[in-house]
Structure 1
Amino acid sequence: MEIITERLLLVPCSLDLIKSLAIYRKELEKRSPIKIPSDWPSTDLIGMLPYYIEKLECDKEEFGWGIWMIILYEEKRIIGDIMMRGKPVEGVVEFTHHLIQEIQDESIAFEAIEAMIDWFIEAQSIKSILTECNSNDEQSIRLLERLGMKCTLKDGAFLYWELHHAA
């Protein structure tokens, strides 16, 4: 299972890969044909690794509904991730995304998330896609608006976004 775009390869993290990231990172960096930057995964994602290990060990169908790597294909290096909060519930999926700090090109984030949204809708029959961002994150706000998402709620420092797709 993978998604290929013009510049990117999106690949879900397997149980073995997540365990290697959590436990054997140095060895994984040496052996991986894909360059793993020092600032990936983010500290938020690192904190979630034990949770995803447990989810995948308990339910094989969770594969594909957790962490996906965003790989810059030509350079064969990880540049970020898209993280789902588990299998869809009643046609609704939630996700967050993160790019490594050196990637400032908004078009890369757009390309990755647009491909993921297309996969949600076409391959998985998802009806609603949810995400959130910080209310002062202008780059994410522009990106989510450009993707056609609508801000549905402001709660303190967070904005909540939705995209609905009619079947």
Structure 2
Amino acid sequence: MIEILTNRLMIIPCSLDIAKSLVFHRKELDKRSPIEIPASWPSAYVRGFLPYYIESLEKDDKDLDCGVWMIILYEEKKIIGDIVMQGKPVQEQNVRLTYHIEEATTDGSIAYEAIDAFIDWLTYQMAVKKVVMECEVQDKESIRLFDKLGLICTKKDGEFFTWEIQKEEE
């Protein structure tokens, strides 16, 4: 299993078993899991996305164009957020990311640490050339985060900004 480790975090893909348990057996998962799972996790976006994700994993879809990743605060053994990756990193070399960090843990540095590590892994292990993220125009925290990560705002579409970072060609 893939593990992305930082000083405080472990970022791992959400397995088929965990995804199914989140949908069909949440109470049992909460009781048996060695990792604390907050009642507010997964995010609303991921909850809506899980049926498609489960179906794709059950088909053993090798061309799966998405992935749900769990952000775990390692020392506390607690899930604090998620990252959803859409795109085919190996084929198209670009992905779209969406993230959510539990509000109780948002000091800004956790989100930076998680997204920075994930982008590093994507660019070095998966040969991704471009990462795209979006945020609402009034989402000052995400705007600061994306700017700090080195993403560039490339488009404004209504109430949303599109941000991108591209790996330099060598």
- Structure 2 residue 35 is the aligned partner of structure 1 residue 34: yes
Q: Secondary structure at the match of 1:102?
A: helix
Moved more, 113-122 or 63-72: 63-72
2:13 matched residue in structure 1: 12
Which whole-Å CA distance do the structure 2 matches of 1:141 and 1:62 have between them?
32
Q: Secondary structure at the match of 2:62?
A: helix
- Cα distance change of structure 1 residues 62 and 100 upon mapping to structure 2, 3 Å threshold: farther
The C-alpha deviation readout for 1:6-62, integer Å capped at 9, x for no partner, is: 000001001111111111111000000000001101112101100101121224436
1:51 matched residue in structure 2: 52
The answer to whether the Cα contact below 8 Å between 2:152 and 2:165 also exists between their aligned partners in 1 is yes
1:85 matched residue in structure 2: 86
Which whole-Å CA distance do the structure 2 matches of 1:7 and 1:75 have between them?
9
The count of corresponding residues between Structure 1 and Structure 2 is 167
2:97 matched residue in structure 1: 95
1:21 matched residue in structure 2: 22
Query: % of aligned pairs identical?
Result: 53
CA root-mean-square deviation: 1.5
TM-score by length of 2: 0.93
Alignment of 1:139-150 (within 5 A): 139-150=141-152
- Structure 2 residue 125 is the aligned partner of structure 1 residue 126: no
The answer to whether the Cα contact below 8 Å between 2:9 and 2:73 also exists between their aligned partners in 1 is yes
Which whole-Å CA distance do the structure 2 matches of 1:5 and 1:63 have between them?
26
Which whole-Å CA distance do the structure 1 matches of 2:147 and 2:26 have between them?
36
Which whole-Å CA distance do the structure 2 matches of 1:115 and 1:9 have between them?
10
2:153 matched residue in structure 1: 151
Which whole-Å CA distance do the structure 2 matches of 1:46 and 1:136 have between them?
24
- Structure 2 residue 164 is the aligned partner of structure 1 residue 162: yes
Q: Write out the 4+ residue segments of structure 1 that deviate beyond 6 Å after TM superposition.
A: none
Moved more, 10-19 or 56-65: 56-65
TM-score by length of 1: 0.95
Which whole-Å CA distance do the structure 2 matches of 1:60 and 1:72 have between them?
30
Q: Give 1:80 shift.
A: 0.2
Which whole-Å CA distance do the structure 2 matches of 1:62 and 1:74 have between them?
34
Moved more, 86-95 or 42-51: 86-95
**Which ranges of structure 1 fall in alignment gaps of 5 or more residues?**
none
